Structure 1
Amino acid sequence: MMFYALTLIVAASRFLPHPPNVACVGALGLFAGCYLAGRRAFLVPAVVLLISDIVGHALQIPGMGFYSPVAMLGVYGGATLGVMVGRWVSRANQASDQSGLGAKIARICGGSLAASTLFFVTSNLGVWMAGWYTMTIGGLFACYAAAIPFFGYTIAGDLVFTAVLFGAYQFSVNSVTVRQQLVPVKVR
């Protein structure tokens, strides 16, 4: 239940004023990859993007809504690649259960950077393939070069939202565990 509550809260943050590319979707993919089993993990970032794009389009919010299907495919694809990174982070953290909290946090932060990079590569490839730049190697390089300033925002947003999601989830899990340990045992 906590997973879905955090997902809704973070998804709603897309509607708050924010710098370009400072969004929750990369962190959400990473989070879903770590904590949801099966294919539904891939649906989380895609559905959050779709619903917020529908609402953004209806409300005419700048930077949200529908545009080139090819470019959108790159954006949605890039967002869902974070799920695969989350799966890797989860497996790495489980495989090295003996490692300390610092090592686990480092893997999560590394996963966040990897998800940001995959999003950058995939979404901008979609922009280039949509024809917004000339369909040459020079056009591809120009597309990526123009996107570099936004990459910093993507990294910052993903790191912040990753810290919020993973931190809040771990806090809630620890709180439940502590409460269960504090419940008095009835003696007969």
Structure 2
Amino acid sequence: MPTKLNKQQLVLLVLCMVAFRVLRDYGVLDFAPNVAPITAGILFIGSYASPAAALAVSLITMLVSDLFIGFYTAPVMIAVYGSFVLIALISRVLVKQRGAARVLTTTLWSSTLFFLITNAAVWAFSSMYPHTFDGLMTSYIMGVPFYKYTLLGDLGFAGAFFGGYALMTWLAGRLASYKATKLSAQEARYRV
């Protein structure tokens, strides 16, 4: 199975992720809040390109889509972007072993990390919750529905990215094998 994505594939992924995020936030795509391809894209690109490419792609995707959607509170935004930096580093785990269990576990950890960091940032840098332990717990409790959507979206997109790529690679291998077999059969016919 190929282990690297080329630049055209990376650009296509960025464009698709930006388009999804913008179209979802403008209501063109009807998805639940926090369902986005960013985390799964970071893990996928980190696995098949490099964590540095994953980091660059995620930050470019977020910046470009935030230009359309709008920016928000700077400290919370830094926490969101910082979460993606950590997820890009986590993607390194997938470079040597990309099995379904490893992808599932890494996606679960990444979604949970994003939830914990961003909800703590909302608690710390906004007036939505009191700056007490109870306020922090309330922030997490209120974030659970969004975590559910984040988790489902991340798992779905991870399945689509990793599974789709594995399927396309398998089909390409089968097609190459079929062509080689057919070519060998034609060559054998002419030798007789």
Scaled to the shorter chain, the TM-score interval is 0.7 to 0.9
> CA, structure 1 residues 110+38, in 2 after alignment: closer, same or farther (shift >3 Å)?
closer
User: Is 1:74 matched up with 2:79?
Assistant: yes
TM-score of the two chains, using structure 1 as the length reference: 0.79
Q: Give the corresponding residue for 1:88.
A: 93
Structure 1 stretches (4+) deviating beyond 6 angstroms? 185-188
Q: Is the 8 A contact 2:45 2:51 kept in 1?
A: no
Name structure 2 gaps, 5 residues minimum: 1-7, 24-28
Aligned match for 1:111, one of 106, 112, 123? 106
AA at the equivalent of 1:12: A
User: How many residues get paired?
Assistant: 170
Cα deviations by residue, 1:89-115 (Å, 9 ceiling, x for unpaired): 233x17xxxxxxxxx111111111111
From 152, 167, 180, the equivalent of 1:156 is 152
1:78/1:118 contact within 8 Å kept: yes
| 1:2–1:178 Cα change, 3 Å | farther
Contact 1:74 1:124 in 2 (8 A): no
**Residue deviations 1:119-173, cap 9 Å, x none?**
1011112212212322222222221111111111111000111111112222232
Bigger relative contact order (CA 8 A; separation at least 6): 1
CA shift, 1:7, in A, is: 4.0
Residue of structure 1 equivalent to 2:170 = 174
Deviations 1:6-43 (A, max 9, x none): 44324322222311111111111111221122522211
| Structure of greater Rg | 2
- What is the TM-score with the length of structure 2 in the denominator? 0.78
CA–CA distance in structure 2, aligned partners of residues 165 and 116 of structure 1: 16
Sequence identity percentage: 33
Unaligned runs of 5+ in 1: 57-64, 95-103
Instruction: Determine if contact 1:33/1:82 at 8 Å carries over to the other structure.
Output: no
Q: How does 1:39-50 map to 2 (within 5 A)?
A: 39-50=52-63
